[in-house]
Structures are given as C-alpha cells and as structure tokens.
Structure 1
Amino acid sequence: MNQVEGIRAVQRMQDYIEDHISEEITLKQLANAAGYSPWHSGRIFKEITGRTPFDYIRALRLTGAALVLRDEERKVIDVALDFVFDSHEGFTRAFAKEFGLPPKRYSQNTPPIQLFMPEKVFDTFRALHKGGMTMSEKKTTKTVFVQIIERPSRKVLLKRGIKARDYFGYCEEVGCDVWSMLSSVKEAIYEPIGMWLPESLIKDGTSQYVQGVEVPLAYNNAVPDGYDLIELPPCQMMVFQGEPYNDDDFMDEIGEIWQHIEKFDPKIYGFNWEPEAAPRFQLAPMGYRGYIEARPVVAVN
C-alpha cells in the first residue's frame, strides 16, 4: 500500500465514523469501509491520525456531547446515552479525562475547552500537495460579492504564533487545533476567524497571523493558558465573498479572491483601506458559501 492509498483508506474510515457516530462502531465495520483487514486498518488509522480508532471515536463523541451540554439544557445521563456511553459514571470519567472537568460543572460554567475537531486526512493531504499559489496562474473568479459591515466594540480571544504570516506557517508554529478551542466558546459573537493583526496589536516576538474568536466586551469567562484577550474598537470592514467552489480547490479560490482584492479600488464604494483600524480576517474556507475575507476600511470624507 502506498501513502496515498493509506490516506484514502483512513478517510473512508473517518467518513464512516462521522456517519455512524451515534451508533455502535466495530473495527470490522471500519475495516470494511477501509477495504483492508481489521488489523491493518487499525494500524494505518493510528499511524496517520495519531489515535487508535476507538480513541478517535471516543474523543469525537465527547466533543459532540460537550457541544450539547454547552448549548442545551439536558441531563448528563441523557447526553451520555445519546453518544453511546452506557453509564453516567463512565461518561463522567471519560469527559473529565478529555476536557479536565466533569460534564456537570462544564454545563454550568461552559469555559473554553479543547474540542476534538479532526481534519479529513485525504483533504488535508491533497491541499498540502497542490503547490503554492501563483496569482498570475489562477483564473479570474466570475463573481465576487462585496459589502460593507459594521463591527461593534468587542473583545477577541486569540492565540498568537511566533513569526507566522499565513495559516500554514501558523499551524507549523502552534499546531492546527486552536480552532477546536475557539469553537467551544459559548459567548462567541461570530464564528472563529484567522486574522492578520495590524502593527499596533502585534506583541514583540509574536506573529502577524493569529486565530481568534470575537466575544462581547462584557466577556468574563476563563482565558485558556497561552491565549490573550484584547479589546477591539468599532470599525467598518469590506467583505469579499467568492462563488461556491469544490472544497478540494480552496487554495485556488483564496488565490483568486486575493488577486481580485489587489486590483480592487475601495473608493468606488466611498472608502479607503485602513489597515491599522482592525485585523484583516478570513473565515474558514467552506466551498458551499465561497471564500470570505474582510479588510478594514474608512469612509472617504
């Protein structure tokens, strides 16, 4: 088996787990999905994901349970049973081991926790091997929707890197699981974002590119170790949104939007670029909605 075949087999197992997460899942079922023997399927799964299939399934179920406890008023035992744990005690032990606090206390306080949100391994492999984006080599996006949005005074919970200037550099410095922590924040005003900080917000020895989530000014929940909570003033952002695309092509789509923005004159909307007013940000690339990026602007007097 070559590397690509192994990664494809693991993604087939990931897909099976996702589709059957609320059911009992056996190694034989995963092996059938992978197309290899149970022993070989289990071995390559751990080799590529870093977890055994059942550690992976347990972590995924615990994350699903945590989100239910965060967002709904449910009894702990009912949530445990929904996610295929057969007892309150077993679920509580597993939850506390995974997240550092028991489920009852989590449901009462909902501090940020490190959720388990794995990438699809073949999608990641394909993205990393598509090569760099050369703007001149990319086709022009047919339609880019542009709008102005108002961002109120707010705070942002973020984790800084060291020298990163883009997503891939950031992942190399701090890992790719920051999004999982940010996604757990109950008080989030908007979804998590990748940000390019203005010079005024960059601490010495830290990166321009960071990941964070915006929260209300009144946010007073826990700040996880290694994270910062900073205040952002109100601002106006010019948002660029491309057409829907195939998820495999997200790097191409980002390149196309960047090419469009570089040629774009905000004065046609009555604005100038104002890079120090707020972080430029990108939403997680999702093909069904097109790539979305926003840059700060100020009205022309």
Structure 2
Amino acid sequence: MAHLDHAAAVTRMQTYIETHLEDDLTLHLLAEQAGYSPWHCAKLFKEYTGSSPFEYIRKLRLSQAALVLRDEKRKVVDVALEFVFDSHEGFTRAFQKQFGIRPKAYQQQTPPIPLFHPYPVESYYLMMDRPAEISPLSQSFHVHLMHFPARKMLLLRGNKADNYLDYAKEIGCDVWGILASIKEALYEPVGMWLPASFQKRETSIYAQGVEVPENYTGILPDGFDCFTIPANTMLIFQGNPYPEEQFDVAINDLIQQIDHYDPSQFSCVWAPEDAPRVQLEPQGYRGYIEARPVRVREE
C-alpha cells in the first residue's frame, strides 16, 4: 500500500500547487503538505507525474496565464507578474517554448494550444486498488430534458477504441488540454460514443471533442475533425457525488441504470443515431454526468 500513500502525498502537493499558483512556491512548502522530506517529495513527484515540481508549476502557470490572455483584455506584462514570472521577457520565452507562439500573438489570435491539464494521481491508484468486494452503489440520479440548436463538434478520432481507456492508450491525454483551449467552445470538453452516421471508416467509436457554434470557422488543430450535429434533444443524467475510491463503480453503476431507463417518462424515445452519446469529465464532487439523444414522441 506504500504507493497509495505516496500517490496521496503527491496529490496533496498537486492540490496545494493549484490553490497557490499565484504565490511563491517552494519545495519546503510542498514537503509540508506531503509529510515527507523535500528531497523525497521531489523524487515522488517526478515519479508519479513525470515532471519535477517546478516543471509542473511552470506548465500549470503558463496554461492558466494563457486562459487569462484568451479571455481577458490584460497586458502581457501584468499577466506575467501575476503568475510569478520575473519579467515580460522571461514569460514570453517560456510561453513560446511551451506553446510555440508568443503570448501577444496568442492573445490576438487565440489558436488552439495544448494546455497542461493534469489529473490527481491518487485517483488512478485508488481505482486500481479498489477492493473487489465493493458493491454497486445503486445510486439515485437526476434526469432532465434539454433541447440543443445545431452546432459543430470539433474532435480527435481514435483508431479502434470504444472506451476512454483504450482511447487514451491510442491517443494519449494531451487532447483534453487542446480541447480546453478552444475559445469558442459552447461547453466543456466531452468524451463521446459516435453513432455510425458520425463515424469515419477505420476510426474509433469513442472520441473526445468539444462543441462549438454552427458557424465556427476557427483553426482546426492538426489531426482533428469537425462535423455538424443537427438540432436535437438530449436526456441529461447526473449521479450522486462519489468518493474517488469508487470512481469506476459509480460510473458503471449509473451507465447500467441509464441503459435500463425508460425515456417515455419524458414522452420521448431513444434516438441513438441523432447525435453522439456524451460523457462529461468524471469529477467525484458533482457525480457522473452523461447525455443521450432522444426524440419527443408525437401525440
């Protein structure tokens, strides 16, 4: 169980970094959160995240700074100082090295860029070490009907994947950061299962993408695709908040309940070919959220 303790310590450091990103961060402060020596903390952090603490901090600060430049009319130098860079020049060099574009040019053009989107490392190990005897939650859930106008889906297709884990093995995790950088996004990025009519030959059923307005004419990142989703109706399902150690149980439990749900309660029928079935990023505090297409029955 040592790796669980270590993963929890690294996650405490990650949380502290995220909540103190605009402060001076030192290895000593991170060590206080983790409960290990500074040397051991640095070693664990590198082992579990693939980055040293200060590489991780730099990438996260640059990504948060990019969102400020994208969404607010701020001077580059002010954003640089806000995110604890010593100078405009140092920030510009770091930004260009990270994203391949100078911050001023990014602010003016806001092209898609690979934002750093880390995950709490503890979640993975909690899921892997979940005791086999944990039973399904049989959770209650909320359902509501939503009508959506025509819009486009900007996505990166996989090869053969029909689920998130296989997609991540094929594509990697960087796609989420690119999706999160799309300024014109209507909602947050999603994972999705594509109906046959939205698939392309020799590509995956499962993909990740983000919805943008129907008239979107922005830059399409390399390798990405875009298609139009006609106006349609979706049933939105949201489960209970869940502890991270029941991550997979909570999700699978709700999916099974959705599979057996009768949409006639909303005077609807399932319409799986009308639009992708989508799942929002699972986050324990809000419960698992999934949307499936339906059609309102004609009386």
- Shared fold, TM over 0.5: yes
Q: Distance in 1 between matches of 2:162 and 2:211?
A: 20
Cα distance change of structure 1 residues 132 and 164 upon mapping to structure 2, 3 Å threshold: farther
Q: Distance in 2 between matches of 1:299 and 1:131?
A: 42
* Structure 1 runs not aligned, ≥5 long: none
Q: Distance in 2 between matches of 1:133 and 1:176?
A: 30
Q: What residue in structure 2 maps to residue 65 of structure 1?
A: 65
Q: Deviations over 1:52-79 (max 9, x none)?
A: 1111110010011001111110000000
Q: Deviations over 1:232-268 (max 9, x none)?
A: 1111111112233334433222122212212211123
1:186: Cα distance to partner?
A: 0.7
CA contact (8 A) 2:123 2:245 kept: yes
Deviates more, 1:66-75 or 1:148-157: 148-157
* Structure 2 runs not aligned, ≥5 long: none
Sequence identity of aligned pairs in percent? 53
Q: Distance in 1 between matches of 2:21 and 2:137?
A: 40
1:88: Cα distance to partner?
A: 0.4
Q: Deviations over 1:96-148 (max 9, x none)?
A: 111110110111111111111111111222123337999xx513223x22221
Q: Residue 189 in 1 paired to residue 186 in 2?
A: yes
Query: What pairs up with 1:117-136 in 2 under 5 angstroms?
Result: 117-130=117-130
Q: What is the root-mean-square deviation in Å for CA atoms of aligned residues?
A: 1.9
1:225: Cα distance to partner?
A: 0.9
Q: Deviations over 1:140-186 (max 9, x none)?
A: 223x2222111211111101111111111111111122211111111
Query: What pairs up with 1:286-297 in 2 under 5 angstroms?
Result: 286-297=283-294
Q: Secondary structure at the match of 1:115?
A: coil
Q: Distance in 2 between matches of 1:252 and 1:117?
A: 24
How many residues align structurally? 298
Q: Secondary structure at the match of 1:139?
A: coil
Q: Distance in 2 between matches of 1:103 and 1:237?
A: 39
1:286: Cα distance to partner?
A: 2.4
CA contact (8 A) 1:272 1:297 kept: yes
CA contact (8 A) 2:180 2:188 kept: yes
Query: What pairs up with 1:70-149 in 2 under 5 angstroms?
Result: 70-130=70-130, 137-142=135-140, 144-149=141-146
1:6: Cα distance to partner?
A: 2.4
Q: What residue in structure 1 maps to residue 269 of structure 2?
A: 272
Q: What residue in structure 1 maps to residue 46 of structure 2?
A: 46
